[in-house]
Amino acid sequence: MPINEQKLIAELQNPKTKELAFKQLLSLYKERLYWHIRKIVISHTDTDDVLQNTFIKIFKNIDGFKKQSKLYSWMYRIATNEAITFINKRASQKNVAIAEYQQQLVSSLDSDTWFTGNEIEQILQKAIATLPEKQQLVFNMKYFDTLKYHEISEILGTSVGALKASYHIAVKKIEQFIKNNH
């Protein structure tokens, strides 16, 4: 059953119905946001932390939501920013470049009991981790989350043309990585 987004937003912004509406929001979007964040931070435990921070931020800031974008796009942007902030902070704490930190995370997938992917999926994750941050985001949103370019544009604040170019370049780099490593 499709949700009535305007009604949900109104309930989220009403102090009397906010908590109940937020529970509905959680059940509707928790899993989708989990997998989006997981593709960025890799680790299940870290994903749970970032997801929790994302929903705290959504809860605190829902009153300021201006309805200029879809609710999901707004939440997706918050999740993306939280995940990127988390990765940047971790890389900084470990005193390594972000790309190097992501490579370390992908390499640790072998021992991650929450990762159920096969060898091909692991190679794909390693390939994605070699991409610059923006290309990673665009590729993940388009390929895994099957978002349309205009939705990604809303989330990342980038033109559709630039997104198409980023996606095309990302696909070429991934193909090359897979050819060289398989």
Query: Across residues 36-62, what is the average pLDDT?
Result: 92
pLDDT of 105-129, one tens digit each?
A: 666 655 554 545 556 677 787 888 8
Query: Across residues 38-48, what is the average pLDDT?
Result: 87
How many domains are contained in the chain? 2
Rounded to 10°, the helix 18-41/71-93 angle is 50
Range of the domain at 110: 1-116
For residue 1, the model assigns a pLDDT of 44
Q: Specify the CATH number for the domain of residue 161.
A: 1.10.10.10
Identify whether residues 112 and 139 lie together within a single domain.
no
Q: Which two tokens stand for residue 140?
A: 């993940």
Query: Across residues 95-112, what is the average pLDDT?
Result: 66
Identify whether residues 63 and 150 lie together within a single domain.
no
For residue 108, the model assigns a pLDDT of 64
Identify whether residues 96 and 151 lie together within a single domain.
no
Residue 180 has pLDDT above 80, yes or no: yes
* Out of 51-65, 102-116, 132-146, 150-164, least confident range: 102-116
b/e burial code for range 35-57 (CB count within 10 A of at least 16 → b): ebbbbbbbbeebbeebbebbbee
CB 44 within 8 A of CB 23: no
Better-predicted residue by pLDDT, 119 or 156: 156
Residue 102 has pLDDT above 80, yes or no: no
Residue 25 has pLDDT above 90, yes or no: yes
Identify whether residues 106 and 168 lie together within a single domain.
no
For residue 40, the model assigns a pLDDT of 85
